[in-house]
């Protein structure tokens, strides 16, 4: 499988196409695809999904995708990675840690194929933000601060829609339990924020009761739940990226490749799910 790379932290590309000539491919960056006009289907990791005017897709790194165009389609491709969200000296803002946490949300949290925006009002807001970003990029002297500010707003709208989808799929649970699961997923690789004492303070629970509460409401041991969630991210990386297991283990905070291999086998073999080639 071809993996498309870019050395640029942020690019915008507009194309009007009648036929998609690229082979199915992956990339090492996030890509937001906005359909200005046109109809057809997008293939994401083997799933065929229809698109139309103002469809919006988010492709996390290493998702395999291509398009089948039914009528001439005007695409806007916004590609970005973590380098774009570094310190903004003009606004004295540092987005790097924010994007590090957000990266895991966008690349692994509640990943469902299809359009990511379900709310009509959020769709209108997203279209406005994308249009503003494209217009600013076309200025003679585009402002990176203005573009970055709009990108931050856009990604927060995306996360809100992911969270709403998550909450809709967990209607049987109370709001506090849903909030707790969202908190864990958002801070999945921040060990300090996942300490029992911190969770207890965040959700007004006694530290000695956090584990029991989680087990009662979710039906799983808290530590096991967190570890399995981390393993799911690792397994996705191993399946869809060109990274070695050593690189994935380092990126995701496992002790070493051997440790990651053991925990993957523990959970995937137990569930009789196929494990990717290591």
* Complete domains list, the chain, with CATH: 2-167 (2.60.120.280), 175-270 (1.10.10.60)
Collapsing DSSP to helix, strand or coil, 73 comes out as strand
Residue 108 has pLDDT above 60, yes or no: no
pLDDT single digits (tens) 221-245: 999 888 888 887 777 667 655 568 8
Q: pLDDT tens across 156-173, in order? A: 888 888 777 766 666 556
How far does Cα 197 stand from its chain's mean position? 28
- When pLDDT is averaged across residues 115-130 and rounded to a whole number, the result is 90
Mean pLDDT of the chain: 79
Cα distances (angstroms) measured from residue 27 to each of 31, 76, 109, 223, 260: 9, 16, 19, 32, 24
Is the pLDDT reported for residue 1 higher than 60?
no
Is the pLDDT assigned to residue 252 strictly greater than 50? yes
Query: Where do the DSSP E strands lie in 84-186?
Result: 87-88, 93-94
Contacts of 167 (CB under 8 A, 6+ apart): 178, 182
Among 107-116, 138-147, 211-220, 254-263, the range scoring the smallest mean pLDDT is 107-116
* pTM to 2 decimal places: 0.66
Distance separating alpha carbons of residues 151 and 132, to the nearest angstrom: 10
pLDDT recorded at residue 114: 67
Q: What long-range pairs does 172-177 form, CB within 8 A, spacing at least 24? A: 173/217, 173/218, 174/217, 176/203, 177/217, 177/218
pLDDT at 106: 67
Whole-number pLDDT of residue 110 = 44
For 28, the enclosing helix (H) or strand (E) is: none
Summarised one tens digit per residue, pLDDT across range 72-105 is 999 999 988 777 877 666 666 677 767 766 666 6
Name, of 72-81, 127-136, 186-195, 259-268, the range with top average pLDDT.
Answer: 127-136
| pLDDT category of residue 25 using cuts at 50, 70 and 90 | low
């Amino acid at each position: 499988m071809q993996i498309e790379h870019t050395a640029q932290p942020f690019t915008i590309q507009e194309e009007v196409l009648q036929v998609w000539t690229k082979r199915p491919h992956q990339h090492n960056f996030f890509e937001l695809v906005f359909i200005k006009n046109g109809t057809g289907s997008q293939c994401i990791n083997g799933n065929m999904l229809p698109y139309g005017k103002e469809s919006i897709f988010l492709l996390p790194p290493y998702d395999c995708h291509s398009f089948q165009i039914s009528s001439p389609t005007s695409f806007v491709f916004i590609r970005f990675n973590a380098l774009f969200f570094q310190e903004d000296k003009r606004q004295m803002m540092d987005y790097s840690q924010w994007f590090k946490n957000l990266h895991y949300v966008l690349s692994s949290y509640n990943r469902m194929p299809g359009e990511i925006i379900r709310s009509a009002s959020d769709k209108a807001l997203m279209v406005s933000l994308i249009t503003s970003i494209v217009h600013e990029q076309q200025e003679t002297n585009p402002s990176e601060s203005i573009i970055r500010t709009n990108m931050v707003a856009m990604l927060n709208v995306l996360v809100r829609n992911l969270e709403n989808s998550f909450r809709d799929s967990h209607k049987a649970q109370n709001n506090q339990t849903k909030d707790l699961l969202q908190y864990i997923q958002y801070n999945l690789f921040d060990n300090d924020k996942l300490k029992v004492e911190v969770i207890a303070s965040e959700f007004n629970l006694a530290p000695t009761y956090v584990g029991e509460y989680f087990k009662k409401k979710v039906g799983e041991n808290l530590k096991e739940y967190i570890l399995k969630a981390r393993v799911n991210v690792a397994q996705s990386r191993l399946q869809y990226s060109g990274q070695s297991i050593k690189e994935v283990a380092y990126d995701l905070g496992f002790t070493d490749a051997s440790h990651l291999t053991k925990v993957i086998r523990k959970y995937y073999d137990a569930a009789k799910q196929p494990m990717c080639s290591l």
